[in-house]
Structure 1
Amino acid sequence: MNRLLDRNDNLSIIIAGIFAIIIGLGVARFAFTSLIPSMLVNHLDITFAGILASLNFAGYLSGSLLSIFIKDINQKVLLFRFGVVLAITSTLALALNSNDTVWIVARILAGFAGAMTFVVGSAIVMTKLQMESKTKAMGIHFSGIGFSILTTDLINRYVLSSGGSWQDSWLVLAIFAFVISIYSVYILSFDKKVKQNVVKHGFDKSIFTFFVVLLIIVYFAEGVGFVVQGTFLPDIINNLPGLEGYGNITWTIVGLAGIPSCIIWMRLAHKYGSVNIIIIALLIQTLGILIPTMTSNLYLNLLSGVFFGGTFVGLVALFMNLGGQLAKSNPVVLMGALTTSYGIGQVIAPLYSVYLIDKFGNYDYALYLTAFIVLGGVVLLLFAKKFETHKI
């Protein structure tokens, strides 16, 4: 027990980091996807749901870009705490108010909170961990993304199956986030102010080789590929003939598949090269996107959840790791470019999706376009390999 309350113990740091991801990504982001089918029944329409998702990602993008340029670890701790408070209060707003304007503001703030708790929180975890090689530990930390989906979905399913409403789910989620935040905020801080020498690097445009520019474009395609299923998957499955009610089971499977994915993909990248493994992961994701358009077979559509959960977490780690290798002494600029590209894809995808859903009355064309964009990323990456001479 003493070990779990030790701010400097690696186990407590990893647990607190996973709790932070559950708060910032699970409660403030992915719970919305889990609750979409229920909210569509008596509050949202699909167009407004898409707009809210887009705004959430816009908030996340702005927070991610801000966090990249904050170097002082003491400021990061303050931003992290602010993000935790914002995640909880923006969730409470959804439970206690049904006004559209309030929801718009709440989802933007929830997105910003997600960046503070995930991006900034991960930086604090990385700083606090005391071990020679932190790669494996950070792989466990990022498994928190899968845990965040699984945990919040199970909470929502329990509340709804017990006769509660989606408002009750948001309230329970806010209370749950508050409880685990006490531990997370306590552990992810320092006993005293940290003295840190910040090394500043000038802008080095030489890192933006033709290969890197194409990689940034491909990461935009992955931002698109992540969002459509990441926003609508439960409702996509529920709308297939004979699969009504199976949407949340598929979403649970997404969370389960996401837990080990980062560790598996990173190991494969180390053995076979990052670019090769990114291409394979993108192809698997493309197939997962297309499955609901081709069949209403239950097991194949559950497999689409496995493909989605098993790729999107790992792809973020793969791109960030590859970007770090290519950035030389200027990681901030390249990471900022990659994050911006991915974020723009996240913001755009829900908007074209709701347009196509409204126009054609189903999800098929939104999924076709999404798969086409991700597949285009694969083609670009195959082309880009010719311009990269190093083994990556």
Structure 2
Amino acid sequence: MSIRTSLWIAAGLAMAPAIALGLARFAYALLLPSMRTDLAWSYTDAGAMNTANALGYLVGALIASQAATRFGAKRAFLAGLLLTAATLLASGLTASFTWLIILRVIAGITGAVAFVIGAAFTVAAVPRNKPASIPLAMGVYLGGGGLGIVISALVVPPLLALAGWRGGWIILGAVSFLGAVVALPALRRIQAPAPRPQGDGQKGWSLRFLLPVVVSYGLFGAGYIAYMTFIVAYLRSRGLDAFDISVFWACLGTASLIAAFLWSPLLARFKAGWGLVAALGIVTTGALLPVVFDGKTAAFFSAWLFGGSFLAVVAAVTSFAGKAVKPHALTAVIAALTVSFGLGQCIGPVLSGAISDGPHGVQTGLLLSAGILLIGAIVAIFQREPTLN
């Protein structure tokens, strides 16, 4: 399979992060201010919604490999996309806190299954004799998350004025169903990662070797999701209006799309954990800017820096896994990394939300987010380069 074909497949499979991340998770930040006002939520309540989604994502990561084996990787991938779309649609049909929590959990489970399998498909589509192309393929795949952010920035804010947050959820569900259809041609073309060779008793990867990346990825999960959950509410509290928020969110999504092509050659050159260190360093800077400096300029710079690097963290981790593990272990190791990421995401929103309900407000929760991201960058320094895959 040529590199061009691999990238075409990655672009189609990118509907998984577009739906699971861009629409099902990140777009919640756009709906949150309206939901908090209408439903009288505290920041802790608001954070609990994304913690529920993260808990589901953790469960989905744990079962993704088994689901791919039992039902077939392609069926599990498509089912994950369709079920995620259905939960978004259903979220616009209820105001019950309990039902919204349940739907967020389900969206997390199904989204994680699709994301993990899609990431394994993307790495497997790259010829084994061209590992330097893995970061580019993963950048294209993860660019789907940025596409989802841009789409939500275009469709959600106008609907809030016309149909409220319920209309926002319904349109997100409809767009997600369309995205599942777009993924079908690539899904038909891809081949599942090769199974473990007969007589090979090794699982193909070592948790001990990958431990710095695993821990760093978990810290990233805790830090970045707090920013993505509360940054819109924070900016609204600092005087930015609906138009400013739309521009901010569109900048963040556009930056993550462009970054797929800017980061890929850099990640191909970085050794050991230094690609992860670089990406996390810029994410941390982006998270700090709107807290340290006031005004629209700082907010928009934050959007470009954070948006241009947070998906690069995922690309750095997945690309490193592609170099460090055997082909048959890709789905399992990506699932294991996503479990760590999911654990961080479970902790981040509710911890940041609880702190944001304190006397110093959401600004303190965002500072905590940046601190956790910085620790993740420090941990990644200790990751060694794999000697042989």
- Greater CA deviation, 318-327 or 347-356? 318-327
Tell me, what secondary structure is at the counterpart of 1:164?
helix
CA RMSD of aligned residues (A): 3.3
Cα drift, residue 347 of structure 1 = 0.7
Change (3 A) 1:179 1:212: closer
Structure 2 counterpart of 1:348:
347
- Of structures 1 and 2, the larger Rg is shown by 1
- Greater CA deviation, 43-52 or 252-261? 43-52
Give 2:37's match in structure 1, choosing from 9, 32, 41.
41
1:18 & 1:342 partners in 2: Cα distance? 19
Structure 1 counterpart of 2:145:
145
Cα drift, residue 23 of structure 1 = 2.8
Kindly indicate whether the alpha-carbon contact (under 8 Å) linking 1:91 and 1:173 is maintained by their aligned counterparts in 2: yes
Change (3 A) 1:325 1:55: same
Identity %, equivalent residues: 27
Kindly indicate whether the alpha-carbon contact (under 8 Å) linking 1:86 and 1:110 is maintained by their aligned counterparts in 2: yes
2:354 & 2:321 partners in 1: Cα distance? 33
The AA in structure 2 aligned to 1:347 is: C
1:221 & 1:171 partners in 2: Cα distance? 32
2:179 & 2:302 partners in 1: Cα distance? 31
Change (3 A) 1:143 1:160: same
Structure 1: gaps of 5 or more residues: 1-8
Deviations 1:251-301 (A, max 9, x none): 221101111223322311222435333222222211222122212121111
Change (3 A) 1:196 1:110: same
2:192 & 2:264 partners in 1: Cα distance? 31
Kindly indicate whether the alpha-carbon contact (under 8 Å) linking 2:274 and 2:380 is maintained by their aligned counterparts in 1: no
Cα drift, residue 10 of structure 1 = 6.6
2:96 & 2:109 partners in 1: Cα distance? 20
Tell me, what secondary structure is at the counterpart of 1:285?
helix
Equivalent runs, 1:77-226 vs 2, <5 Å: 77-124=74-121, 135=134, 136-161=136-161, 163-185=162-184, 188-189=187-188, 197-199=195-197, 202=201, 207-209=206-208, 212-226=210-224
The AA in structure 2 aligned to 1:177 is: S
Cα drift, residue 121 of structure 1 = 3.3
Tell me, what secondary structure is at the counterpart of 1:165?
helix
Deviations 1:78-125 (A, max 9, x none): 212321231122112211111111111100011112113322234445
Q: Does 2:27 align with 1:28?
A: no
Q: Does 2:268 align with 1:270?
A: yes
- Greater CA deviation, 368-377 or 119-128? 119-128
Deviations 1:1-36 (A, max 9, x none): xxxxxxxx7787455323343333233222212211
Structure 1 counterpart of 2:72:
75
Change (3 A) 1:17 1:208: closer
Q: TM-score, normalised by structure 2?
A: 0.85
The AA in structure 1 aligned to 2:282 is: I
2:365 & 2:153 partners in 1: Cα distance? 24
Kindly indicate whether the alpha-carbon contact (under 8 Å) linking 1:236 and 1:292 is maintained by their aligned counterparts in 2: no
Structure 2: gaps of 5 or more residues: none
Structure 1 counterpart of 2:378:
379
Cα drift, residue 70 of structure 1 = 4.8
The AA in structure 2 aligned to 1:19 is: M
Q: Does 2:314 align with 1:316?
A: yes
Q: Does 2:60 align with 1:60?
A: no
1:355 & 1:97 partners in 2: Cα distance? 25
The AA in structure 2 aligned to 1:288 is: G
Give 1:301's match in structure 2, choosing from 289, 295, 299.
299
Change (3 A) 1:272 1:190: closer
Q: TM-score, normalised by structure 1?
A: 0.84
Kindly indicate whether the alpha-carbon contact (under 8 Å) linking 1:233 and 1:247 is maintained by their aligned counterparts in 2: no
The AA in structure 1 aligned to 2:292 is: M
Kindly indicate whether the alpha-carbon contact (under 8 Å) linking 2:220 and 2:341 is maintained by their aligned counterparts in 1: yes
Change (3 A) 1:333 1:167: closer
Higher normalized contact order (CA 8 Å, seq sep 6+, divided by chain length): 2
Structure 2 counterpart of 1:6:
none
Cα drift, residue 132 of structure 1 = 7.8
Cα drift, residue 390 of structure 1 = 6.1
Structure 2 counterpart of 1:283:
281
Cα drift, residue 126 of structure 1 = 5.6
Change (3 A) 1:62 1:298: same
Structure 2 counterpart of 1:4:
none
Change (3 A) 1:104 1:262: same
